[in-house]
């Protein structure tokens, strides 16, 4: 396989197996199952865009999950509340086939809020791919250490001091 195909396969596997990044504080287990499924499906969509030359980024569903867990951990300022309601509304409508209630729906963001959302999604993408790489590195290191231990056990020392 060429490096390009290997890279595409790795990206696809990561799309399905990379962790969902949540705000630290213990609320990660509270994500609804539909949101977890939406994250996987949106990652697949982003993966297809990347094969067409688009810059990889986090998804609306990933941003929604992160901001959901953040909102359960600490109060958010008005900008982040607006961003959360905006991305939650888009995600909820897209995957639940229902509309957000009018009294909390946010249909647009300021340029600064949109830039903050983009930075968050970019950070989420980097964070999840870094976490995946760390797991792979740990597995490779453990495998290598196991192989060294097996060789050492099979090969007796020539001299013991």
91 occurs within a structural domain:
yes
CA–CA gap between residue 148 and residue 161 (Å, rounded): 21
Residue with tokens 């060789």: 151
132 occurs within a structural domain:
no
For 79, what's the count of Cα atoms within 13 Å in the CB-facing half-sphere? Answer: 8
Mean pLDDT estimate for the chain:
87
Structural domain boundaries, residue 41: 22-124
4 occurs within a structural domain:
no
150 occurs within a structural domain:
no
Is pLDDT at 139 greater than 70 in this prediction?
Answer: yes
Work out the pLDDT band at 156, boundaries 50, 70, 90: low
Is pLDDT at 123 greater than 80 in this prediction?
Answer: yes
120 occurs within a structural domain:
yes
pLDDT higher for 93 or 5? 93
At 41-78, the pLDDT tens digits run 999 999 888 888 889 999 999 999 999 999 999 999 99
For the chain, what is the radius of gyration of the CA atoms? 21
At 77-121, the pLDDT tens digits run 999 999 999 999 999 999 987 888 999 999 999 999 999 999 999
- Point out the least confidently predicted range of 6-20, 55-69, 137-151: 137-151
83 occurs within a structural domain:
yes
Say which DSSP state 155 is in.
Answer: S
Is pLDDT at 8 greater than 90 in this prediction?
Answer: no
Nearest to 127 by CA among 36, 25, 42, 20: 20
**Average pLDDT, stretch 25-53?**
91
14 occurs within a structural domain:
no
Whether 70 and 23 have beta carbons less than 8 Å apart is answered as yes
Q: How many domains does the chain have?
A: 1
DSSP string of 115-133? HHHHHHHHHHHHHHHHHHH
């Amino acid at each position: 396989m060429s490096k390009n195909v290997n890279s595409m396969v790795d990206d696809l596997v990561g799309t399905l197996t990379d962790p969902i990044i949540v705000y630290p504080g213990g609320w990660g287990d509270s994500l609804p199952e539909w949101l977890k499924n939406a994250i996987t499906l949106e990652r697949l969509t982003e993966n297809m865009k990347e094969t067409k030359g688009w810059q990889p980024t986090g998804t609306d569903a990933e941003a929604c999950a992160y901001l959901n867990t953040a909102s359960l951990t600490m109060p958010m300022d008005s900008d982040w509340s607006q961003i959360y309601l905006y991305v939650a509304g888009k995600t909820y409508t897209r995957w639940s086939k229902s509309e957000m209630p009018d009294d909390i729906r946010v249909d647009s963001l300021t340029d600064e809020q949109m830039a903050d959302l983009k930075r968050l999604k970019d950070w989420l993408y980097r964070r999840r791919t870094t976490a995946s790489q760390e797991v792979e590195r740990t597995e490779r290191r453990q495998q290598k250490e196991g192989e060294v231990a097996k060789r050492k056990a099979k090969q007796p020392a020539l001299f013991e001091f």
